[in-house]
Structure 1
Amino acid sequence: MNLPHHDDYWPGSDLFVVSDAPFRTLFYPEGPDAQPQRFPAGSVVRYDAQAVHSAPGFCPASEGSESRRRGVTSVVRTFMRVHAWDPLWTLSRLSHFAPLLQKAGPPEWHRPELCEGEDVILGCFDELHSCQRCCDLSKGPLGDSACWAGRMNFNMCCGPASRLWAGCGWRGEDLWGHEYYSLEPPRLHSAAQCQNRCQEDSGCGGWTYFPENWEPVGCRLPVAAILGLRRVCVLRATSDAPWSPHAGAIYGLRDCADPGGCLEVGRDRVGMDLGFIKEVPSAAACRLQCHETQECKAFSYFPDGYLGDASAGCVLPAAVFTWWKTRCLLKMHKTKPGSGEQWLQMGNVASGQRGCKPARPWRRWSNSHQSVDDLLAVDGDYRRERCSRGQPWRLELDAEYIVTRVMLWTGQLQTLPFREPLVYEVILMVGEEEVWCGSADENLGGNAMAVHCAQDTSRSPASAVIIRSIAGPALEFALCEVEVQVAPVPCDLLLDKGWTIHGRVVLIFPPGEAGRAQLEDAGEACERTGGSFVETRSRPGRALCVEAACAPSRCLEEFDTEIENFAPLTVLGLWNHDLELVADECGALGHSKARMFEATVMIYNGGHPDAGGSQMTTHWCFCAPSYCADDDAAMVVTRLVAQRGLTWEALQPNSEIELRNVRALASWEDVKLDFLVAGFARSGTHTLRGNLMEHPQVKFSEQEMTFNWAALPQQLQVWRYASFFKDEDEGPRRRLWGGKGEGLAASQRVIRLASKIPNLRLVVMVREPVEWLESLYNLRKFYLCQQPSTCSEVPSLEDVVLNGATFEDVNVEDAFLSKSLEHVVKFFPPSAGRSLLLEFELLRSRPRELFDQIASFLGIEPFPRDFEIRRHATEDRHRYEELGLSVSLCSEHLRPTLAALKERLAREKEYARLVALLAQAGAPWVSSRLLLNRTHCD
């Protein structure tokens, strides 16, 4: 810009104050050393040949230029730009500046509050973050008055150039309180998308994102979650889960003689959630809700004063834990982590501040007449040589996006009074075709021009943006800055049929149709808008930014790549014997470290049954890469069922396919346990566990170990069981880890499965068969007779023995205990120190000797002589005897039944076989009952 020397138009050295009234942009002067300077409020300007000092409201820029002169050159240039004056006018008289300059006095300064804060000052002066630009107090492209940094299409004062949102965030902490969304935070795909949501909301100061794999610290929750839990009643299907501390929570069983009692305050048993009922006024009302639900066995109630719990052993209810995954919680306060007591550890959440801008969604821009100046980064002060003069101007996106809006800042404003305004047209490259987006007339005031793409155009993925003039003098084309607003390509634009997975519809690419794309030097615009990069077969070599919901996962990609290895490893049902063999073959896929999953597939052929369709439920167990999350594994199921012929084409119109309960399976080798009290029910197992829990060298699980005894345990079951021992050291001096598996010895299949647990030892209690069957019958009858409606369904003991009637786990065939014990010693050989068989009569008559035997078998110190051995689980027997529900085979009217049972036992030589097994296992003592074939009635 050719300007006369400042002495030509700035006579003398009078004091002046620069009024911003005519300005849309306050610009900077420069000091005598050509470096940016900032001055306190109330400063005045002395214009002379040597120096210029700033007035309040000015923000200096740092980048110099050989063509930039000292003195008032910058002021004049800014004045020219805003008012479109010709810089070649003769400016040699002070009268030309009359609208601009006033005598010093108390003028009303225009200083927006947004430019008062320290963070704004850093935004304009931070050299580290490449934000050295002028402080623009005009309306920004989003309509907000702000200290605009000038590089609208590059980094925005939020850290070094980075493709990751983490440049402005941190992990593991949450600002407790100050939630902007209270009880219904939205579900989003990524932390970057959560930050975008905060950026778009003027009331937001910061954000916290709870990822899909969120692992909380104890039961520590955000305030919004705590408020949402108050006055909530959680119904449970189980009552034998381990205890966990939970301050403020109230736990109770369904049945209790005292309506106001039988409550545990401050701890919880997290079982299978059946219901999550809000606005329940009291724990008593919560119990009533449990009574009204047939499957409910226990409940937890969260009162008005509930505050959460950060204890390490605290476990969240499943409904709460799952509901908060993928939630985006916005905050009112803007602060950095660790700056106050309200910053709490909250697991692997991601948190951040408002103010971080996404990177540009393109890699390069060019035009048909490139020059060195054309390729320079666009500057915020719109110098003519930094604007692109050649057209058409083309911007290559790093992938195909949905382009919704393009903002344009143009130059050549000084010639506007002498020519027709230009019309700038925006064209999108959709495939090989140019598609019209929209156009805008050149703005006479130098403001940004917004071009919103037409609705039909905004549904077409574009790979490039072209800008050219379609009216007016083409030689006056001058494009200074561009900002492109992009969005991922919607899944429903590419796919038309979805699967229902975990309650929501998911659109999935067919096999081989799409794969993840790894782009170098790509911006983060795709992630920030909730998308992922993919390549599709219909667009080879071109990346597409699609909604993350339909982007193929790493899990699905590997499965599709090696489907010939994975697909055959599929069985139907957790209790299918083939599952064990398949699991071994799945584990042999060492390069992928595969593991098994299970899923329930609901098929509604022709629609739901209430709409005239038919329903079919199938259960699947399958092999998939080990890093697959549950949702990823669900997508694998769609491949498997399609291979079995279940495709949309094979179903009637309006059909639906729904996937439920997609869960990872573990192996029995993953279970860590030293010993298991594995006797038959009603054989003293509770007494063994109760006393061993008092031993200082033993850590006993409070939960019974069953895992439902499917062919493989669920991964979650293994983790939960391991949580009982998580505070234990792994070293050689740690306590022994023990558990109880009542009835485990009665199942030959379960014994075989348990033998796969490394180094597991069994302690098995054996009771005289007739007494055992009678005791088990009385206990199960007592439980069922708690409800009159079910008591009538209990068969008589005579019917059980003589006619083979069964209920619950009562079966006369199980009284032949030797059949099960033979499998125990087969899979847990006593000679290898893996099992110890002891008779119940020893516990009854010489309990200390029995516990000494167990201590010796486990390699622990014997109980002290003064230790009182207590009997456990005797209350039930006393209660059913008091209620007259007890039945005895020793009674006169059941003598024929007893005789028939003894005859069967003698024919099978049951007592002799039991004696031989006890002797083989090294039992130190055998009762005369077994030796002489006697029952407890003889």
Structure 2
Amino acid sequence: MHGRQLCVCVCAAWFLAANGEDVTCLSEYYMGREGFRSVPLSPLVYTPIAHRPDWYWKKIFQMRGIDPESVKSGYTEAWLAFLFVEAQEAMTVCSIEGGRYWDCILDVRKVYDLAQGSARSTFAGRLAAVFGITLAAPDPLPGHLRLSLCAPARCTESQVVQEIFPLAVDMLMGERPQQMLGNASFRDVVVAHEVAGWHDFDIDFAIVGVNRCGTTSLRKNMELHPDVVIKGDEEETILSYELANRLLPLKAQVEEYNAQVQERITAKFKATGHRPHIVGIGNPLLFQSALVRQKLALMPQLKLVLAVCEPVGRMEKIFMMEKYCHDDLPAAQKRLVAWPYRDGSEVCFPSTSALLTERHGQLKLFWDQRIATAQHLAALAELFPSRLFVLHQTELRDTPSNIFNELAAFVGLRPFPEKIVFRRYNSVGGHRTDLCFNASLVRSLQRLLEREYVMQESILQAFRGIRIAARSTRCDLVDKVDTTYCPNMAC
């Protein structure tokens, strides 16, 4: 340890001790400073490339030896995997060093405003030097900087902010960082949160999609097993919304989530007298998020359940809910054959023929989302070669007992009790639109969705060794079976 650093350590410890404060955090940091500072300061929040200035990404790519041309989209699987694994490894290394990993946000503009005289230009100069950029005036200064750091495990949040953070940012604020703040303290310019790992979530299996392929039926019927509890009565959004762009979750968020799981377990125990021990979540859109896929991959105990269904029928159902013109929209919304959030102002179409005529026009985004399904399925299959259970919607309809007992074995459960009746949810049978009156339109849509057909057949064969006549559409049976209608209820 250099002489000046030793002096700072001793003097700081003496000052804190004289004021009756705990000095163990600071002294432990100095004793293990080399180890704590060797932990990579990885980004803990994902930011799309377009949301950061060019100089930021240029510096990041240069430091990591990455070709910028290979990650232009910002969402390539390889780039995301790199970021997530790097963050996880940094937290693990910190733990090995005897520390906890923290996500800190520095209010750069406030520091600049608090600094006096030459301290302002010094601060701006240091910031420019760290990122290799030119800052001629305060305007180009970023509003905030997110900095991760490793601190001794015994350090509290307050100690991390007031004692450890100033030492960790000496490259920005010099060896006497407090001088930059005048009469303010670091609590005025820094917010710190401890982070945790994705594996800390109490989740054993996740129903991840595909939307409109029977995921509600999967979720509600799986919870009929006495050993299963599903987190939440609705679709779970913790991974896709509350923690949408995080590379590591905040510890407080993990603890809050796990506490809610325990409440669900207790509630089921009180209602049934049996305490479940397998926790599941369900959200039919998780499969299509590259960010969520990486989070799920970092939960080694987690198993995934994926339901696929006939692509043309799925497209028709989504078109019916989102784009079809209903004579009475409020009534259709009540029956849940129209999307509940439609307000009537958006463009609607009186016929499914618009799926072809507006494919490159007003329905381009609609088509782009459908076409991407095959790509998402391929990415999911590649990322989870041994932890993915794939089923076809027809199995839920034709052989529900068999498929749910297969699922039970897959997630580590005994078979379902024989008395359980497996029901279907959100089923709308019969002629939902005019699609099945137009055979040539059906054939055209099948050709355009060929890639999804092939992908479904491929993963069903690869993961379960089964072949399903996936090329048959709902129109082949629409006049031969009873019309069903049970949105949001069992039938």
Fold similarity call, TM over 0.5: yes
**2:452 matches 1:910:** yes
1:535 aligns with 2:31: no
Letter in 2 for 1:535: W
Write the letter of the residue equivalent to 1:643.
M
Q: Establish whether residue 802 from structure 1 lines up as the match of residue 281 from structure 2.
A: no
Equivalent residue for 2:216, pick from 683, 686, 689:
686
CA spacing shift, 1:590–1:616, aligned 2, 3 Å = closer
Q: Whole-Å Cα distance in 2 between the matches of residues 655 and 935 of structure 1?
A: 68
Kindly indicate whether residue 299 of structure 2 is the aligned counterpart of residue 757 of structure 1: yes
Instruction: Quote how far apart the aligned CAs of 1:837 are.
Output: 0.5
The match for 1:592 among 84, 91, 97 is 97
Deviation at 1:842, TM superposition (A): 2.0
C-alpha contact (below 8 Å) 1:800/1:806 kept by paired residues: yes
The alpha carbon displacement at 1:772 in A equals: 3.1
Mapped pair 1:851 → 2:390:
no
Amino acid at match of 2:153: S
**Distance across 1 between alignment mates of 2:347 and 2:35:** 50
Gap change, CA 1:804 and 1:566, over 3 Å in 2: farther
Q: Closer, same or farther in 2 for the Cα pair 1:633/1:656, shift >3 Å? A: closer
- Aligned 1:74-473 pairs, distance under 5 A: none
Query: What is the one-letter code of the residue matched to 2:458?
Result: A
Cα deviation for residue 624 of structure 1 reads: 2.9
The CA deviation at 1:793 is: 6.2
Select the structure with the greater relative contact order (CA < 8 A; seq sep ≥ 6): 2
Find the counterpart in structure 1 of residue 193 from structure 2.
663
**Which residue matches 1:571?**
42
Which of 199, 210, 231 is residue 701 of structure 1 equivalent to?
231
Secondary structure of the residue aligned to 1:696 is: coil
* Residue matched to 1:838: 391
Change (3 A) 1:649 1:634: closer
* Equivalent residue, structure 1, for 2:145: 618
Contact 2:44–2:87, Cα closer than 8 Å, also in 1? no
Alpha-carbon spacing, 1:618–1:903, altered in 2? closer, same or farther (3 Å) = farther
Equivalent position SS for 1:812: helix
CA contact (8 A) 1:595 1:626 kept: yes
CA RMSD of aligned residues (A): 4.7
User: What is the CA-CA distance between 1:701 and the residue it aligns to?
Assistant: 2.1
Secondary structure of the structure 2 residue equivalent to 1:717: helix
The aligned counterpart of 2:156 is 629
Q: Which amino acid aligns with 1:755?
A: A
Relative to 1, partners in 2 of residues 1:632 and 1:890: Cα closer, same or farther, differing over 3 Å?
farther
Greater per-residue helix proportion: 2
Are residues 589 and 662 of structure 1, via their aligned partners in 2, closer, same or farther at CA, if it must alter by over 3 Å?
closer
Unaligned runs of 5+ in 2: 48-79, 115-137, 267-274, 324-332, 477-491
**Aligned pairs for 1:891-906 within 5 A:** 902-906=446-450
Between the aligned partners of 1:785 and 1:838, the Cα distance in structure 2 is 28
Aligned length: 377
* Aligned residues of 1:685 and 1:765 also touching (Cα < 8 A): yes
CA displacement 1:646-691 (0-9 Å, x = unmatched): 8979989999985465221111232343322222222222221212
| Structure 1 residues not aligned, in runs of 5+ | 1-509, 518-532, 537-542
Q: 1:642, 1:634 → 2: CA distance?
A: 14
- Aligned CA distance change for structure 1 residues 653 and 667 (closer, same or farther; 3 Å): closer
Q: CA deviation at 1:575?
A: 1.8
Give me the whole-angstrom Cα distance separating, in 2, the residues matched to 1:618 and 1:641. Answer: 11
Corresponding position: 1:862 with 2:415: yes
Whether the 8 Å contact between 2:222 and 2:228 is mirrored in structure 1 is yes
Q: Deviations over 1:731-755 (max 9, x none)?
A: xx96323222432222344334313
Deviation at 1:777, TM superposition (A): 5.6
Task: After superposition, give the CA deviation of every residue in 1:692-718 in whole Å (9 maximum; x if it has no partner).
Answer: 212112233227263325322221232
Partner of 1:820: 376
CA displacement 1:408-466 (0-9 Å, x = unmatched)? xxxxxxxxxxxxxxxxxxxxxxxxxxxxxxxxxxxxxxxxxxxxxxxxxxxxxxxxxxx
C-alpha contact (below 8 Å) 1:604/1:616 kept by paired residues = yes
Q: Secondary structure at the match of 2:213?
A: coil
Secondary structure class of the residue paired with 1:575: coil
1:764 deviation in Å?
1.1
Does the alignment pair 1:745 with 2:292?
no
Q: What whole-Å deviation, never above 9, does each CA across 1:551-605 have from its counterpart, x for those lacking one? A: 7x54444445544444462234412653531431442245533333223333335
The share of aligned pairs that are identical, in percent, is 20
TM superposition shift of 1:838: 0.3
Q: Which amino acid aligns with 1:699?
A: V
* Change in 2 beyond 3 A, CA 1:922/1:579: closer
> How far 1:840 sits from its partner (Å)?
1.5
Task: Report the CA distance shift for 1:649/1:870 in structure 2 as closer, same or farther (over 3 A).
Answer: same
What pairs with 1:555-570 in structure 2 (closer than 5 Å)? 555-567=25-37, 569-570=40-41
State the SS of the aligned residue for 2:305: strand
Cα pair distance change 1:545/1:795, threshold 3 Å: farther
1:761-783, CA deviations, whole angstroms, 9 ceiling, x for partnerless residues? 22211122333344446556779
- Output the CA distance in 2 between the equivalents of 1:716 and 1:653: 32
Q: TM-score, normalised by structure 1?
A: 0.34
Once residues 784 and 554 of structure 1 are traced to their aligned partners in structure 2, the CA distance between those partners, rounded to angstroms, is 58
Distance 1:649 1:629, change over 3 A: closer
Residues 588, 835 of structure 1: alpha-carbon distance in 2 compared, 3 angstrom cutoff: same
Q: 203, 206, 212: which one pairs with 1:673?
A: 203
* Partner SS for 1:588: helix
Instruction: Report the CA distance shift for 1:801/1:937 in structure 2 as closer, same or farther (over 3 A).
Output: farther
Higher strand share: 1
Give the Å deviation of 1:872. 3.7
CA distance in 1 between counterparts of 2:302 and 2:195 reads 20
Q: Which residue of 2 aligns with 1:716?
A: 252
> 1:890 aligns to what?
435
SS in 1 for 2:435: coil
Shift of 1:811: 6.6
Q: Return the alpha-carbon distance in structure 1 between the equivalents of residues 439 and 7 of structure 2.
A: 72
Evaluate the alpha carbon distance shift between residue 588 and residue 844 of structure 1 in structure 2; reply closer, same or farther with a 3 A threshold: same
1:55 is aligned to none
* Cα separation, partners in 2 of 1:689 and 1:654, compared to 1, 3 Å: same
CA change 1:607–1:666 in 2 (3 A) is: same
Distance 1:596 1:680 in 2: 35
Cα distance 1:803–1:600, how it changes in 2: closer, same or farther (>3 A)? Answer: farther
Contact 2:229 2:276 survives alignment (8 Å)? no
Structure 2 CA distance for partners of 1:863 and 1:573, relative to 1, 3 Å = closer
Deviations 1:593-648 (A, max 9, x none): 3333223333335649xxxx867133333333333333333344444444245897
**How far 1:916 sits from its partner (Å)?**
1.8
Question: Which amino acid in structure 2 is aligned with residue 817 of structure 1?
Answer: T
Deviation at 1:850?
Answer: 2.5
> What are the superposed Cα offsets for residues 45-76 of structure 1, whole Å, 9 maximum, x if unpaired?
xxxxxxxxxxxxxxxxxxxxxxxxxxxxxxxx
